Homo-oligomer: A and B are copies of this chain.
Amino acid sequence: MGETKQRIAIDMDEVIADTLDKMLERYNREYEDTITPQHLHGKKLRHVAKCGDQVSRFFDDPLFLRDLKVLPDSQDVIRELQTRYEIFIASAAMEVPASFAAKYEWLKEHFPFIPNSHIVFCGDKSIIDADYLIDDHAYQFARFRGQGILFSAPHNVEETRYPRVHNWRDVADMFLK
């Protein structure tokens, strides 16, 4: 039966984990700034931050990713998706190797219904063999063999090449109606 289910691969950061919220909170505190998601239309934090690319050093702290908030409705919708689809979580963890353990523990805490066999840490997501990939980074869709579904984030508002979902209710509407 598993063979006949379509597969959906789901990104972590800014799709099920609110990485941006934590980054803004940490950045604004450390640099005494007041950037909000509204300041980031079409841009990443590093493009508007006083410290530029240095914001990426937040990820060097293995604990930074450990207490991210869960994106609203993602748990309920993914649990329901599992009844009709084969679900994989696919995170580009190789960019920050120090984050492996924290990412894994976060998943086990908030998505315990995703088995280890269905967690993937990778770099280039074109290696993922799935029918759909829900991700906030359109560049991951370029060589992906299935259909990319863009999950809205401030940095990707100007991207128009892929079907877009704004939140997990949109994902439910797309896959569960």
Contacts and interface: CB of A to CB of B under 8 A. Distances in A.
> Assembly of this chain: how many copies?
2
Interface of A: 2-3, 7, 9, 88, 90, 93-95, 97-98, 100-101, 104, 115-124, 126-130, 143, 145
A64 to B, nearest CB: 16
Contact of A129 (B98, B117, B129): B129
Nearest to A120: B122
The 5 closest A-B pairs by CB, nearest first: A117-B123, A100-B100, A129-B129, A94-B116, A117-B124
Given A101-B101, A104-B97, A143-B3, A127 B120 contact: yes
Nearest to A108: B97
A122 B119 contact: yes
